[in-house]
Amino acid sequence: GAGVSQSPRYKVAKRGQDVALRCDPISGHVSLFWYQQALGQGPEFLTYFQNEAQLDKSGLPSDRFFAERPEGSVSTLKIQRTQQEDSAVYLCASSSHALRTDTQYFGPGTRLTVL
Amino acid sequence: AQKITQTQPGMFVQEKEAVTLDCTYDTSDPSYGLFWYKQPSSGEMIFLIYQGSYDQQNATEGRYSLNFQKARKSANLVISASQLGDSAMYFCAMRDPYSGAGSYQLTFGKGTKLSVIP
């Protein structure tokens, strides 16, 4: 079946612009995660949704970062007033339930470059 | 806080040979899960193998096996019969303890870049 998809794959923004990154999880998956991957590093957790509820946003680096999943499927990560330090790959992952044993399946990521 | 350490920034292996990628971890939680993911240059993180802390046997998935040594807190990935398509970044990750907020996010190491030589 279809995996996790993300769009756009690449985004270039001028400093100060707002951006919106989209994630389409695997159909029916309850859990959705956003991660940020800086160049040469492993991914770092940003936020978590269980259906439409955002249960954990402890990894969001500032109040310029906002995420939503209004109908419990597609999710959008929005970054306001982008800064150069926001340049990274943003990865979305989904898992079938909210169980400890679930495997997270990742999308291809969105590479954001802030000039 | 949990920590994952991958000490090999880069590794080379001859095609058809086996290779071991190292991963050590630190946690105070007795119940945890360890994962390995592959990230090709295309960017997608591909799930390879999972090991639970209470699993009696080492996990295996095709050419991938996990050398799990609980007392040493190591979870090394073994790839047998390397192929050119195995060239990629490999990340070890641990599932965080239950945060109370309902999420089981992953903590990743910095990765190892594997290059398979023809």
CA angle A79, A81, A84 (to 5 degrees): 85
- Does residue B111 contact residue B91 with C-beta atoms inside 8 Å? yes
pLDDT at B95 (0 to 100): 86
pLDDT digits (tens, 9 = 90+) for B54-93: 888 999 999 999 999 999 999 999 999 999 999 999 999 9
Asked if the C-beta of B91 comes within 8 angstroms of chain A's C-beta atoms, the answer is: yes
Inspect the interface and report whether the beta carbons of B104 and A100 lie closer than 8 Å: yes
Mean pLDDT for the stretch of residues A58-69: 95
CB pairs under 8 A between A and B: 75
- Both tokens assigned to B68: 């799990």
Angle (nearest 5°) at CA B78 between B76 and B30: 30
Half-sphere exposure in the Cβ direction for A27 (13 Å, CA) = 2
Chain A residues closer than 8 Å to B104 by CB: 98-100, 102
Strand partners, B47: B37
Q: Is B59 on the interface with A (CB under 8 A)?
A: no
**Site from B31, B42, B45, B106 to mutate, A interface, most A CB atoms within 10 angstroms:** B45
Identify the sign of the CA torsion B58, B61, B62, B65: negative
